[in-house]
Amino acid sequence: MRTWLDAAIELEPGALNFPVSLAQLHCRFEQIHPFIDGNGRTGRLVLNLLLVRLGYPPAIIFKQQRARYLRALRRADAGDHGELAELLARAVMDNLHQFVVPAVAGPARLVPLAALVTPEITPGALRAAAVRGALQASKGPDGQWRSCRNWVDEYVATRSKRLGRPRSDRS
């Protein structure tokens, strides 16, 4: 554990290989298996503690990602940390877009569509609505669509009304 702790202290958040280093560190904690029970949960909590202390949002691994996470952890255990590094990096980015950006941006600021996803509407549906002009949005020079919370809420409300009408009223 002391060697693991030393490696955790030396973790460099700005390094290009940060996701791989993080994956190696997380995998090593799971290999040490310091507790009788709860090593996986504890390992993910420690991982997120490190991320937050280094200025990143937590990497939340959802239940539907469990099989991929375990497969990536097994590969990392065998020395291939790439898949686990990618999974963790994507989890951090997803949480940044889903929770942090909207909280900071406020309801009227333009943000990437990924930051505006709700349980009622998927990223693909938002993009499709933006492309066909049903959702107020603008496409930046980087090719990314942006909108704001107010516009998405308005679109979802009008979409719900359209979808909630009786079948005979639909054209």
* All structural domains of the chain with their residue ranges: 2-104, 106-169
Chain segment 18-55, per-residue pLDDT in tens: 999 999 999 999 999 988 999 999 999 999 999 999 99
What pLDDT band is residue 140 in, cutting at 50, 70 and 90?
confident
Q: Does 88 score more than 90 pLDDT?
A: yes
What pLDDT band is residue 163 in, cutting at 50, 70 and 90?
low
Mapping DSSP onto H, E and C, the string for 91-151 reads HHHHHHHHHHHHHHHCCCCCEEHHHHCECCECHHHHHHHHHCCCCCCEECCCCCEEECHHH
Instruction: Yes or no: say if 43 and 26 are a contact pair by the CB < 8 Å rule.
Output: yes
Overall size of the chain counted in residues: 171
Tell me what the mean pLDDT of segment 110-128 comes to: 90
* pLDDT (0 to 100) of residue 142: 78
- The segment with the largest mean pLDDT, out of 98-112, 140-154, 156-170, is 140-154
Q: Is 88 exposed, middle or buried (0-12, 13-18, 19+ CB in 10 A)?
A: buried
CA distances from 60 to 7, 33, 52, 100 (A): 22, 20, 12, 13
What is the DSSP track for 54-100?
A: TTPPP----GGGHHHHHHHHHHHHTT--HHHHHHHHHHHHHHIIIII
Tokens of 56: 């990143």
Tell me what the mean pLDDT of segment 51-77 comes to: 94
| Architecture of the domain delimited by 2-104 | Orthogonal Bundle (1.10)
